[in-house]
């Protein structure tokens, strides 16, 4: 089943395509939707659709900019433009961006279905071609590709001298490859695929590198592959490196590879220091693997910043959960751990004892991280009581003391980039124009770097986190106030009340009005959740004309 993502700033078109178009019965799945390109881009990266269906003229980031970014990050995605503007100049711009169909509004459901089927057929044919070993061999030996990769391998050897490196650069330039750049980053791509599966993965990485237009080059290695990323400056090189790594992790040939690890080395300014970047990338791979690091993408910066794991009793997970957690989350975390440790009568005493010990260790570490002495902050009598008390009240009091110490020191959420991002989002979530790049800029990271680190550290994507934060705030307002749904939508960062209602139901399973009824006993205000301007006649018309 081909997966489709929809981007259009017209709510009526999105709603009718979502609700009335025969997606699944024709072999398609509508993965998600967004009202503009900026909101769509991180969602597309996360959801990895096969086909992008997008309007051209939209606020913030228009369809052309979105197509350019998608082509750069995920060149295998088929793009269909749905536009109300019969402007040949747009069609001309669309051609080099990999756009496969250009449809003019208004369009019937049958016309759209035909276009989607054509694109789906093209994608399926391309995938069949990639599965052909003959095609892979032609790709590898075509032109100077094979020789280029062999030359690049020599740049990734342990030792080399400037004369040999200069010779390599001249040879590559003679083949039309210019390796001169402001900065360089090496990505170590490790996977255990063998035989044809390995060949397909390497060919896919090579094709992805070719799609960057000369900013990334790859070659095969014994453990998988390596990529050399060229950038104009440090920020540009980092952005390109994390963007390429994120795209590589989504490649169909690698997405199901359980042991895939993309290790990003340090950024170097000198061409002759590329080996240093390679060595640091390899070090990241070995260190992360040795410490049981489960992330698919990790850079040398994240490895250096990682908190040292506790060895005693393997109780570090509780400390890690509470290390930056706000005080109001403490009850939920303790309840979760109590449930996980077991509620059966036989092992409950042992489990609770385990939890109490974990809490004491966590409290001491939190205080130490704040730069204070645990003996000065944590009362010994309180610790003793926490270790022997029946319930968790004393445990909670101990941890609250540690969390207050941490917050007073200014080392709470603001200590790590992701922590600073969460704190920033808690202040700015109501801004409807808030975008990923705003948060990345706040913590001093490139968009791709921040997006990768945030997702791997929190377990969810930036878009999912922001949506959950906004919906959570909306629940509070629905339960505690008489504000209308449209007012709540604006208060939590959505200019479009219809889109808010759609997201709310998708997240909670109920509409805002239904949620309010089940969570508030007093009379509610009248909510307007119907589609603006959708008379029966209009609804009937736009179900077939989009």
pLDDT at res. 121: 92
- Residue 327 is given by DSSP the state G
Task: Classify residue 459 as left (phi > 0), alpha (psi -120 to 50) or beta.
Answer: left
pLDDT at res. 545: 45
Q: Which residue has the tokens 């042991």?
A: 259
Task: Classify residue 231 as left (phi > 0), alpha (psi -120 to 50) or beta.
Answer: beta
Class level of CATH domain 470-546: mainly alpha
The superfamily CATH assigns to domain 138-305 is Reverse transcriptase/Diguanylate cyclase domain (3.30.70.270)
For residues 494 and 470, the answer to whether their CB atoms sit within 8 Å is yes
pLDDT at res. 307: 34
Q: What are the sequence ranges of the domains in the chain? A: 2-131, 138-305, 307-459, 470-546
pLDDT at res. 51: 94
Tokens representing 482 are: 């008489």
pLDDT at res. 130: 62
pLDDT at res. 158: 65
Q: How far is CA 418 from CA 287, 291, 317, 415, 516, in A?
A: 22, 21, 17, 8, 33
Phi, psi of 99 (to 5 degrees): -70, 130
Q: How far is CA 295 from CA 239, 246, 258, 288, in A?
A: 18, 12, 11, 8
Q: What is the pTM of this model?
A: 0.52
Q: Which residue ranges in the chain fall short of pLDDT 70?
A: 59-60, 85-95, 130-147, 158-161, 289-294, 303-321, 323-324, 336, 338-351, 410-415, 520-546
The superfamily CATH assigns to domain 2-131 is Response regulator (3.40.50.2300)
> If we measure between CA atoms, which residue out of 129, 153, 124 comes closest to residue 139?
129
For residues 448 and 264, the answer to whether their CB atoms sit within 8 Å is no
What residues are paired with 33 via a beta bridge?
Answer: 6
* Core vs surface per residue 171-190: b (16+ CB within 10 A) or e: ebeeeeeebebebbbbbbbb
pLDDT tens-place string over residues 56-90: 877 667 778 888 888 877 778 899 988 876 655 66
State the helix-helix crossing angle for 417-428 and 447-458, rounded to 10 degrees: 90
């Amino acid at each position: 089943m081909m997966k489709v993502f929809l981007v259009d700033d017209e709510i009526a078109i999105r709603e009718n395509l979502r609700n009335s178009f025969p997606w699944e019965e024709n072999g398609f799945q509508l993965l998600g939707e967004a009202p503009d390109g900026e909101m769509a881009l991180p969602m597309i990266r996360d959801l990895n659709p096969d086909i992008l269906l997008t309007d051209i003229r939209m606020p913030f980031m228009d369809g052309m900019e979105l197509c350019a970014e998608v082509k750069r990050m995920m060149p295998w995605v088929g793009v269909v433009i749905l536009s109300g503007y019969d402007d040949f100049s747009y069609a001309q711009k669309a051609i080099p961006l990999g756009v496969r169909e250009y449809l003019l509004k208004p369009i019937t459901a049958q016309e759209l279905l035909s276009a989607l089927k054509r694109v789906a057929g093209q994608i399926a044919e391309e995938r069949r071609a990639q599965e052909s070993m003959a095609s892979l061999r032609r790709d590898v030996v075509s032109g100077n590709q094979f020789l280029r990769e062999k030359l690049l391998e020599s740049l990734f050897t342990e030792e080399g001298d400037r004369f040999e490196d200069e010779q390599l650069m001249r040879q590559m330039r003679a083949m039309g490859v210019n390796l001169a750049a402001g900065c360089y980053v090496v990505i170590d791509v490790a996977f255990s695929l063998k035989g044809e599966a390995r060949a397909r993965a390497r060919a896919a990485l090579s094709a992805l590198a070719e799609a960057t237009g000369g900013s990334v080059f790859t070659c095969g290695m014994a453990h998988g592959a390596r990529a050399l990323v060229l950038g104009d400056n440090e920020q540009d090189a980092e952005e390109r490196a994390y963007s390429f790594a994120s795209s590589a992790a989504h490649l169909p040939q690698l997405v199901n590879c359980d042991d895939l690890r993309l290790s990003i080395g340090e950024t170097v300014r000198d061409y002759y220091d590329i080996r240093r970047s390679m060595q640091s990338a390899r070090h990241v791979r070995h260190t992360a693997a040795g410490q049981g690091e489960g992330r698919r993408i990790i850079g040398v910066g994240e490895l250096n910043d990682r908190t040292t794991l506790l060895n005693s009793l393997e109780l570090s997970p509780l400390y890690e959960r509470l290390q930056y957690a706000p005080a109001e989350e403490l009850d939920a975390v303790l309840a979760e751990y109590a449930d996980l440790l077991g509620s059966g009568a036989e092992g409950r005493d042992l489990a609770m004892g385990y939890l109490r010990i974990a809490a004491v260790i966590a409290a001491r570490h939190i205080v130490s991280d704040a730069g204070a002495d645990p003996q000065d902050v944590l009362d010994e009598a309180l610790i003793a009581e926490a270790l022997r008390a029946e319930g968790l009240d004393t445990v909670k009091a101990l941890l609250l003391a540690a969390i207050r110490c941490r917050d007073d020191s200014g080392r709470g959420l603001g200590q790590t980039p992701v922590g600073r991002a969460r704190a920033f989002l808690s202040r700015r979530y109501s801004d409807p124009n808030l975008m990923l790049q705003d948060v990345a800029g706040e913590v001093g990271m490139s968009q791709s770097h921040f997006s990768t680190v945030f997702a791997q550290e929190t377990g969810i994507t930036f878009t999912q986190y922001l949506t959950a934060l906004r919906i959570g705030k909306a629940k509070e307002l629905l339960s505690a106030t008489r504000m209308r749904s449209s007012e709540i939508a604006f208060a939590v960062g959505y200019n479009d009340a219809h889109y808010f209602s759609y997201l709310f139901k998708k997240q909670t399973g109920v509409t805002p009005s239904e949620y309010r009824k089940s969570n508030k006993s007093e009379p509610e205000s009248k909510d307007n959740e119907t589609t603006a301007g959708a008379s029966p006649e209009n609804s009937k018309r736009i179900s077939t004309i989009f």
